[in-house]
Amino acid sequence: MSQHTSLVSIALCTYNGEKYLKAQLDSLVIQDYQNLEIIIVDDCSTDNTVSIIKEYQKLRSNITLYINEKNLGFNKNFKKALENCKGDYIAFADQDDMWELNKISKMVENIGDNLLIYHNSAYIDENGIPNGLSKKSHHKFVSGDCAINFLYYNCVSGHACMINKDLLETTPPFPKDFYYDWWFAYTAANTGRINFLNESLVKHRKHSNSSTSADHTDPRSLRLYQFKLFLAHPMTIGSVKEMLLKLIHNYEELRFKKFSLKLFSILIRNAHQLFYIRKKSVYSRLKFLITESTQHQ
């Protein structure tokens, strides 16, 4: 089958999403790419989410709904959605966004032999009004052999990416308390088969109830946890593994030192690669490096 006629699965996980769900479903069912299936897994919603989906099912034969018998939580619910996707490519949808009608066709056209492709997203508020910002307002995008760029920051949003199903075979199970999009992006980056489209193909809703709301875990402890996940990842290439070993060793030494000159030196020497993704001023970057290399009381 030609790439441009391949089956594409849209994986959508829902939970109490009645407020914005219709707008998202409207944008999915009018996609100009024809060979689509929409796989929806609902995680025991208590509002009208399921009723809304069933109304759309009556009109669209390519919508399949699975309703969990018990609440699985996002990671397990998402895993279930992936397991039921039959497409050669899989795109991920949030329940409260709105897609441009050519999102899927653009991504299929440009994915080539990459395992993952992603794009920019324009931000809207709770009322659907653009605020003038986008993902690229705060992040730089990367492609190719760029795994080291993903150690501190992630520029790939789940709602903005599509994967080749082959990526599922090389990606280990999603770790607890870690973002699935970052895990997919890191895996693809280690193979060098990741690319991006410099277009905004989703209106991404930013609001207080979003599942991506801020995590209040101590940032440095979280980073150390993530570094160890990356180190254990079977696809991590040698040069990235060497960097991770140095970072982990020096972060752990901070338990016994007020300031780690070694860690500061590593960070400042490799700042262009390690911190490339996140847009910051020189002052903010330097302040971050000093804080990162200083023992927390």
pLDDT at 183 exceeding the cut of 90: yes
The domains found in the chain, sorted by start residue, are: 3-205 (3.90.550.10), 219-292 (no CATH)
Task: Give the chain as a 3 state SS string.
Answer: CCHHHCCEEEEEEECCCHHHHHHHHHHHHCCCCCCEEEEEEECCCCCCHHHHHHHHHHHCCCEEEEECCCCCCHHHHHHHHHHCCCCCEEEEECCCCEECCCHHHHHHHHHCCCCEEEEEEEEECCCCCEEEEEHHHCECCCCCCCHHHHCCCCCCCHHHEEEECHHHHHCCCCCCCCCHHHHHHHHHHHHCCEEEEEEEEEEEECCCCCCCCCCCCCHHHHHHHHHHHHHHCCCCCHHHHHHHHHHHHHHHHCCCCCECHHHHHHHHHCHHHHCCCECCCHHHHHHHHHHHCECCC
Question: What average pLDDT does the structure give for the chain?
Answer: 94
Q: What pLDDT sits at residue 217?
A: 67
Overall average pLDDT of the 229-256 stretch: 96
Integer Cα distance of 231 and 26 in angstroms: 41
* Out of 66-75, 195-204, 271-280, least confident range: 66-75
pLDDT digit string, tens, across residues 151-163: 999 999 999 999 9
For the chain, state the CA radius of gyration.
Answer: 20
Max CA distance (Å), the chain:
64
Integer Cα distance of 29 and 248 in angstroms: 46
Q: What pLDDT sits at residue 214?
A: 44
Q: Is 166 exposed, middle or buried (0-12, 13-18, 19+ CB in 10 A)?
A: middle
* Out of 182-196, 202-216, 222-236, least confident range: 202-216
pLDDT at 216 exceeding the cut of 60: no
pLDDT at 264 exceeding the cut of 70: yes
Integer Cα distance of 32 and 242 in angstroms: 45
Q: What pLDDT sits at residue 258?
A: 94
Q: Taking a C-beta distance cutoff of 8 angstroms, is the pair 91, 161 a contact?
A: yes
Task: Give 41-103 as a 3 state SS string.
Answer: EECCCCCCHHHHHHHHHHHCCCEEEEECCCCCCHHHHHHHHHHCCCCCEEEEECCCCEECCCH
Q: What pLDDT sits at residue 219?
A: 85
Residue 171 CA neighbour count, 13 Å, CB half: 23
Q: What pLDDT sits at residue 297?
A: 60
- Single-letter residue type at 189: A
Q: 224's torsion region: left (phi>0), alpha (psi -120 to 50) or beta?
A: alpha
258-to-51, 230, 248, 261, 295 alpha-carbon distances in Å: 57, 26, 17, 10, 5
pLDDT digit string, tens, across residues 88-137: 999 999 999 999 999 999 999 999 999 999 999 999 999 999 999 999 99
Confidence of residue 296 (pLDDT cuts 50, 70, 90): confident
